[in-house]
Amino acid sequence: DAGVIQSPRHEVTEMGQEVTLRCKPISGHDYLFWYRQTMMRGLELLIYFNNNVPIDDSGMPEDRFSAKMPNASFSTLKIQPSEPRDSAVYFCASSLSSEQYFGPGTRLTVT
Amino acid sequence: GENVEQHPSTLSVQEGDSAVIKCTYSDSASNYFPWYKQELGKRPQLIIDIRSNVGEKKDQRIAVTLNKTAKHFSLHITETQPEDSAVYFCAASMDTGGGNKLTFGTGTQLKVEL
């Protein structure tokens, strides 16, 4: 199994632009999580899905952030419009049981 | 909601020595406590976890202890090696068997010196 796949691995964009991060979970996993990691705030859970349905989005910082999971093998996290304070590493993780498997992350830089 | 505190933020040990990282949690309903290791520029990876029905768990050079009454748990690494150098995160959640909403500690940068 290839593990959790994320794209792009690096994204540099200008303030105000729309950013879309993509994630493919491990096949057969029914939970998908989006995390954000920064030096200041550490690892934060943004939102998670179960069987493609959003269960808890209380960690989504504001309305500029949205996430979708149209099918069991694909999820997106969108930021529109992006701001410099959104610069971070965004991880996607999936699980079938308690253990969460993280993807390689997307390093987002907003200038 | 859950709050997890982790100490120390940095830890430097000599190769072969032991390292101990401590975490406290606030929500008495939490019953699942994983530890993740994150090497520089890499993804977090689970190294060991413990549930509240046990007080200690070991896996080779790594062990985790849990004190439910005091709401704290610790990671112990014995005979440290240079490849143990990384950031270690503790986390806490209610174990639902799948959709565990993990709250992470702030991380401990462990450096194992030759």
- Window 81-100 of B: residues touching A by CB (8 A cutoff) are 89, 95, 97-100
- Per cent of chain B over pLDDT 90 is 86
The pLDDT assigned to B1 comes to 85
Tell me the pLDDT band of A1, cut-offs 50, 70 and 90: low
Tell me the pLDDT band of A14, cut-offs 50, 70 and 90: very high
Mean pLDDT confidence for B63-90: 97
CB contact under 8 A, A43 and B101: no
The pLDDT assigned to B50 comes to 94
Residues of chain B positioned with their CB less than 8 A from the CB of A100 = 34, 46, 100, 102
Distances in whole angstroms, Cα of residue B46 to Cα of each of A28, B60, B96, B109: 19, 15, 17, 16
Which candidate from B42, B89, B97 shows the least CB-CB separation from A43? B89
- Rounded distance, CA B74 to CA B57, Å? 11
Tokens, residue B73 = 């748990």
Tell me the pLDDT band of B113, cut-offs 50, 70 and 90: very high
Mean pLDDT confidence for A22-45: 95
Q: In degrees rounded to 5, what are phi and psi of residue B54? A: -130, 155
CB contact under 8 A, B101 and A48: yes
Residues of chain B positioned with their CB less than 8 A from the CB of A36 = none
- Rounded distance, CA B105 to CA B57, Å? 20
The pLDDT assigned to A98 comes to 86
Nearest CA-CA distance, residue B53 and chain A, Å: 15
- Contact between B75 and B91 under an 8 Å Cβ cutoff? The reply is no
- Residue A16 confidence (pLDDT) above 90: yes
- DSSP per-residue codes, A40-92: TTEEEEEEEEETTEEEE-TT--STTEEEEEEETTEEEEEESS--GGG-EEEEE
CB contact under 8 A, B43 and A31: no
Give every CB contact of residue B40 below 8 A, 6+ residues apart in sequence: B86
B45 touches chain A (CB under 8 A): yes
Q: Is A100 exposed, middle or buried (0-12, 13-18, 19+ CB in 10 A)?
A: buried
Average pLDDT, chain B: 94
> What's the pLDDT tens digit per position in A73-105?
999 999 999 999 999 999 999 999 889 999 999
Residues of chain A positioned with their CB less than 8 A from the CB of B100 = 95, 98, 100
CB contact under 8 A, B98 and A97: yes
